[in-house]
């Protein structure tokens, strides 16, 4: 049974805990709820906004389109092949709980992405990633509903057009990324509601290492070959020490993407500041640590109204309020702070940082 609510506060539904309301909110617990909604004489024709775990969103005002709150549950092993376990989860499942469940079942592979806030359904939208593993590395397929036609369709990894914190679901109309064969993919922003996601977890598991924070844990524990459970525990410890818990301090994870520059641009920046944190990529370009760029412009700990730059990680913007109407960062304050950071990083390093969350 589809549940429709009016004037719903969204603080609890976004990890930034920004105060905003949905004019109309519909809870979607199953595929048939989507079909019922699309056939509805009133809500069926209204513009719609799909809300997952709200972990990558900045609300800058009340949301006028009908908010579809995805609460589709369920986790299961779909198929076991000689090479992999194919597991599936409903879009409304908590991402972290799903990762923990796969490990408990004996299907390792997602442990480096432990403790990323949000839902399974949102995970492909921005191709979440951490400590050397991205969602696309473990992705098998997803089922979604086209909100314009009501048609259910399945996409494989290539069709999702995954990039760094990017996918076909972040692009609208025909402005989507070009597919591998050069055709313009029609963007699915505001058009698709993800129902279920399937993952392929190879039986030939080995830990994905090579990150400084993980190397440190290995040295501390005198361990050269960690188990999946150890990797999971360490990732949780590292994240808890460095990243604010959204239950306590509102935030949306990294607020900016780590920018990629050419070797020449990087040499230029090194000339200005030899300490710049950078990593060579396989294609010859260089990735810079946005957190370092922001930090070196002096932003760590600064605020605009109730919006602030996290003390322990300059890449994370936080809500210093308590989430009540009169004592909370507004989306406007967050965006003012974000733009001020972009301007100062641009003036010092000539690099325009790109925001990661979706601004609504």
- Compare residues 37 and 99 and give the one whose CB is closer to ligand EPU: 99
User: Phi and psi of 342, rounded to 5°?
Assistant: -55, -45
Contact 26, 3 (CB under 8 A): yes
Residue in 11, 14, 102, 313 binding ligand EPU, rule: CB under 6 A: 313
Contact 320, 303 (CB under 8 A): yes
Q: What is the DSSP pairing of strand 66-70 with strand 48-51? A: parallel
- How far is the C-alpha of 349 from the C-alpha of 338, rounded, in Å? 16
Instruction: Say if residue 192 is exposed, middle or buried (CB neighbours under 10 Å; 0-12, 13-18, 19+).
Output: buried
Q: Of the listed pieces 84-92, 186-194, 221-229, 313-321, which binds ligand EPU according to CB under 6 A?
A: 313-321
295 binds ligand EPU per the rule CB under 6 A: yes
Q: How far is the CB of 128 from ligand EPU (least distance, A)?
A: 7
- How far is the C-alpha of 231 from the C-alpha of 113, rounded, in Å? 10
Q: How many residues bind ligand EPU (CB under 6 A)?
A: 16
Taking alpha carbons only, the member of 272, 236, 279, 241 closest to residue 347 is: 272
Owner of token pair 């930090």 = 295
257 binds ligand EPU per the rule CB under 6 A: yes
Q: Of the listed pieces 29-37, 175-183, 289-297, 338-346, which binds ligand EPU according to CB under 6 A?
A: 289-297
315 binds ligand EPU per the rule CB under 6 A: yes
Contact 254, 356 (CB under 8 A): yes
300 binds ligand EPU per the rule CB under 6 A: yes
Q: Token pair of 327, please?
A: 């004592």
- How far is the C-alpha of 16 from the C-alpha of 355, rounded, in Å? 15
Contact 108, 96 (CB under 8 A): no
249 binds ligand EPU per the rule CB under 6 A: no
Task: For 215-246, give one letter per residue: b (16+ CB within 10 A) or e.
Answer: eebbeeeeeeebebebbbebbbebbeeebbeb
- Compare residues 22 and 341 and give the one whose CB is closer to ligand EPU: 341
- Compare residues 83 and 242 and give the one whose CB is closer to ligand EPU: 242
State the Cα angle at 204 between 203 and 208, rounded to 5°.
115
Taking alpha carbons only, the member of 99, 51, 199 closest to residue 139 is: 199
CA dihedral 58, 60, 65, 68 (to 10 degrees): 30
- Compare residues 30 and 344 and give the one whose CB is closer to ligand EPU: 344
Active-site positions read: 165, 254, 356
Q: How far is the CB of 147 from ligand EPU (least distance, A)?
A: 26
Residue in 24, 167, 258, 330 binding ligand EPU, rule: CB under 6 A: 258
53 binds ligand EPU per the rule CB under 6 A: no
253 binds ligand EPU per the rule CB under 6 A: yes
185 binds ligand EPU per the rule CB under 6 A: no
314 binds ligand EPU per the rule CB under 6 A: yes
The 102-141 contact track toward ligand EPU, x by CB under 6 A, reads ----------------------------xx----------
Q: Token pair of 114, please?
A: 């432990």
- How far is the C-alpha of 171 from the C-alpha of 176, rounded, in Å? 5
Residue in 291, 308, 321, 323 binding ligand EPU, rule: CB under 6 A: 291
User: How would you write 247-260 as a 3-class SS string?
Assistant: CCCEEEEECECCCE
Q: How far is the CB of 258 from ligand EPU (least distance, A)?
A: 5
96 binds ligand EPU per the rule CB under 6 A: no
348 binds ligand EPU per the rule CB under 6 A: no
Q: How far is the CB of 117 from ligand EPU (least distance, A)?
A: 8
Q: Of the listed pieces 57-65, 88-96, 145-153, 287-295, which binds ligand EPU according to CB under 6 A?
A: 287-295
Q: How far is the CB of 50 from ligand EPU (least distance, A)?
A: 19
- Contact residues: ligand EPU, CB under 6 A: 130-131, 253-254, 257-258, 277, 289, 291-292, 295, 300, 313-315, 356
């Amino acid at each position: 049974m589809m549940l429709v609510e009016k004037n719903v506060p969204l603080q609890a539904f976004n990890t930034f805990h920004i105060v905003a309301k949905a004019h109309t909110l519909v809870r979607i617990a199953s595929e048939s709820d989507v079909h019922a909604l699309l056939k509805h004489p009133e809500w069926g024709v209204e513009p719609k906004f799909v809300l997952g775990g709200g972990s990558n969103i900045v609300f800058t005002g009340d949301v006028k389109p009908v908010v579809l709150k995805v609460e589709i549950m369920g986790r299961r092993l779909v198929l076991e092949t000689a090479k992999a376990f194919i597991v599936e989860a409903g879009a409304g499942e908590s991402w972290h709980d799903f990762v923990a469940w796969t490990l408990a079942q004996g299907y390792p592979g997602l442990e480096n992405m432990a403790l990323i806030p949000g839902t399974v359904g949102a995970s492909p939208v921005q191709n979440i990633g951490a400590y050397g593993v991205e969602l696309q590395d473990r992705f098998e397929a997803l089922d979604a509903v086209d909100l314009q036609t009501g048609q259910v369709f399945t996409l494989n990894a290539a069709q999702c057009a995954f990039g760094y914190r990017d996918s076909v679901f972040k692009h609208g109309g025909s402005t989507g990324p070009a597919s591998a064969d050069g055709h313009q993919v029609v963007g699915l922003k505001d058009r698709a509601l993800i129902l279920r996601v399937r993952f392929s977890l190879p039986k030939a598991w080995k830990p994905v290492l090579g990150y400084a924070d993980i190397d440190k844990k290995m040295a501390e524990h005198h361990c050269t070959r960690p188990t999946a459970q150890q990797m999971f525990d360490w990732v949780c410890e590292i994240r808890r020490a460095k990243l604010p818990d959204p239950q306590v301090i509102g935030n949306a994870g990294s607020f900016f993407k780590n920018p990629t520059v050419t070797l020449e641009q990087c040499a230029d920046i090194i000339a200005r500041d030899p300490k710049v944190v950078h990593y060579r990529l396989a294609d010859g370009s260089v990735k810079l640590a946005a957190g370092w760029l922001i930090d070196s412009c002096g932003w760590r700990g600064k605020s605009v109204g109730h919006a602030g730059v996290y003390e322990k990680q300059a890449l994370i913007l936080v809500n210093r309020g308590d989430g009540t109407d009169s004592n909370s960062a507004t989306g406007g304050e967050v965006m003012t702070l974000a733009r001020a950071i972009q301007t100062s990083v641009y003036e010092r390093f000539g690099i325009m940082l790109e925001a990661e969350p979706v601004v609504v």
